[in-house]
Chain A
Amino acid sequence: MTRSLFGLESEYALNAYDGRGLPVARESAARELIRLATCRLPSLPGVNSSGLFLQNGSRLYIDAGNHPELSTPECSDPTEIVRYVLAGERLLDRVTTELASESPCIRQVCLFSCNVDYRSRTTWGSHESYHHRTDPTKLPDQLIPHLVSRIVYTGAGGFDARHPGIRFVISPRVPHLRRAVSGSSTSGRGIFHTKDETLAARGNHRLHLLCGESLRSHHALWLRVGTTALIVALVQAGHDPARGLSLPLPLEAMEVFAGDVGCSRRVFTRTAVQIQRQYLECAENHLGNGALPAWAPDVCRAWRRVLDQLESAPEELDRTLDWRIKLALLTDHARRHDMTWERIRRWNTQVETLKRAAAKVDLTRLARRERRDSFGPSGWINLLHHRAGDVAAHRSLLEPQLQREGLTWDELRRFLRLRQELFEIDTRYGQLGQDGIFTRLDQAGVLDHRVDGTGDVDVETATVDPPRNTRAWLRGRTVHALQGTEGRAEWAGVWDVARSRRLDLSDPFASEVDWKSFDATEFPKRPRSRR
């Protein structure tokens, strides 16, 4: 039976406030969070990387943008991924709660599981890593059609941050992708990442994917990792799951699928669901022949079910998939403001025209008056009342068109206000803790997204114990044993500095302790705690 190994990185937006409710500098809050985590969580600092390796095998650190990031330990079952993401969030919640109560300058800390900021129009990742032992150059062709089309069940749901109006997309990260294949994770971001870090040796490779999004639905997360790991396993076994699925313009195809909430648009004769069906059928054809891991039948059943529902009864997924849950909530919220998607579509057209007109006007003076770096609703409204220049001309030109569409200028103010509210709702959906919209829905019992094996006791256990079937077990137990010493850790080893020995974890499935000697005098000293 094939053994799988994979991991997930979750990056969280961070906001902290002082006793007067004013924002605390994010860099300072992130530094305080790591300082407290160092004191409270059994851990060892990294050797070459920043942050902490925890006793449960995971890693906590601060990434670009001062975002706390948790990498799960190496897992062998998609259920473990869900369990360790939840365990990491539980640990983060404990640290941030204590931070808010003990810090002299921080009274509240908020973390958001999302990947897009609508104000700065930037994105950050929820990267995936999959172990494999195949030729890495084979993977892009086999995986890109899957990554492009899986968003129909892995999409977080949200808005196209580049659009001046309101454009709901299944996967809000897609508009930020720039190419099909990239070597960088921050510039020219690709669907497929070619980084093949040597986190392991002896023919083991790490496939690193950039295009995924943080999810709140356990079922969607379980499917995202489970289906992708099955395809990696099929390729490793010499199969050709993407036969005939080549997409000449994958980024464009992904944008089409991301904007198609009906999941019915075709790219080169196939819908996203039809592309997914080919992968699924390939996996089903190889169940039980040793090419796929033991959990494959469960994933295939759920995979088939979700594809059937997307084609025939998508409303059945309104309580299960993140993008369907959000679409239901956002549609209802817009309706409460007398806005339908049809009316929003009409306003989008007008706003796009106004945006083009605004681009021709010198906005420096207006921006200075607004005392801000970009235009929100009030900026737009001021612009429309600006009587000089091209905007006024376009406004008079637009009026007959607005009348034909049954739109009024007064409604624009409501439209732009709604736009900001929808952005806040999307962000708050992923807020960790009791104020998060997803959390409140879950506690109200109106969702159907949970996965077996991720109950309260399972998650609590996972805050302490590493997964048992990968090298994470040895690393986590050794971190636990060496906490408080000068020891250091990395994914592929743990350094017991006092005894001048290194635990070799270059085998990703290492299960036996293998200490090797090293020269401790060449080893960098552990930075002193500030406490």
Chain B
Amino acid sequence: MTQERERRRDDDPAPAGSPTGPGELDSARREGIDLLAAGDAAIQHTLSGDSEAWLRANRQEGGQ
């Protein structure tokens, strides 16, 4: 949650970009791996298999 997250980070004495501990690095790495795994699963679930045909069939007209 945005505001809670910002308050929590304000309490963090380490400025942005400062070295982080090994635990935090592991956590960030794990989050990155999870994102890509979930992303690949979502893409595989969603992609039509023939993107060119899909884009052609779903062509939109412009607006504002």
Contacts and interface: CB of A to CB of B under 8 A. Distances in A.
B61 interface: yes
Interface in A426-460: 427-428, 431, 435-437, 440-441, 444, 446-448, 450-452
A117 B40 contact: no
A118 interface: yes
Contacts of B1: 450-452
Interface stretch (A64-72, A84-92, A243-251, A346-354): A64-72
A423 interface: yes
Contact of A301 (B6, B45, B56): B6
A428 B47 contact: yes
A502 interface: no
A467 B4 CA distance: 23
Contacts of A526: none
Contacts of B57: 15, 23
Nearest to A121: B62
Which of A120, A222, A446, A447 has the most CB atoms of chain B within a 10 A radius of its CB?
A446
Interface string A395-439: 000000000000000000000010011011101100100011100
Interface stretch (A51-59, A196-204, A285-293, A307-315): A307-315
Interface in A352-389: 372, 376-378
B16 A333 contact: no
A329 B38 CA distance: 9
Contacts of B10: 301
A23 B5 CA distance: 44
Interface in B9-28: 9-10, 15-17, 28
A127 interface: yes
B12 to A, nearest CB: 10
A329 B39 CA distance: 6
A315 B38 contact: no
A119 interface: yes
B55 A328 contact: no
A428 B9 contact: no
A333 B63 contact: no
B32 to A, nearest CB: 6
B17 A372 contact: no
A444 B33 CA distance: 13
Nearest to A223: B2
Contacts of B15: 308
Nearest to A335: B36
Interface in B31-63: 31-32, 34-36, 38-43, 45-48, 51-52, 54-63
Contact of A305 (B9, B38, B41, B62): B9
B42 A64 contact: no
A15 B59 CA distance: 9
Contacts of A102: none
A420 B58 CA distance: 13
A332 B2 contact: no
B64 A332 contact: no
Contact of A424 (B2, B6, B54): B54
A37 interface: no
A219 interface: yes
Given A218-B2, A301-B7, A318-B32, 6 more contacts: A23-B57, A329-B36, A421-B51, A435-B46, A437-B46, A440-B38
14 contacts: A13-B60, A15-B58, A118-B55, A124-B60, A210-B64, A222-B2, A301-B10, A308-B17, A329-B35, A329-B39, A332-B40, A428-B46, A437-B46, A440-B41
The 4 lowest CB-CB distance pairs between A and B, nearest first, are A312-B17, A122-B62, A124-B63, A308-B16
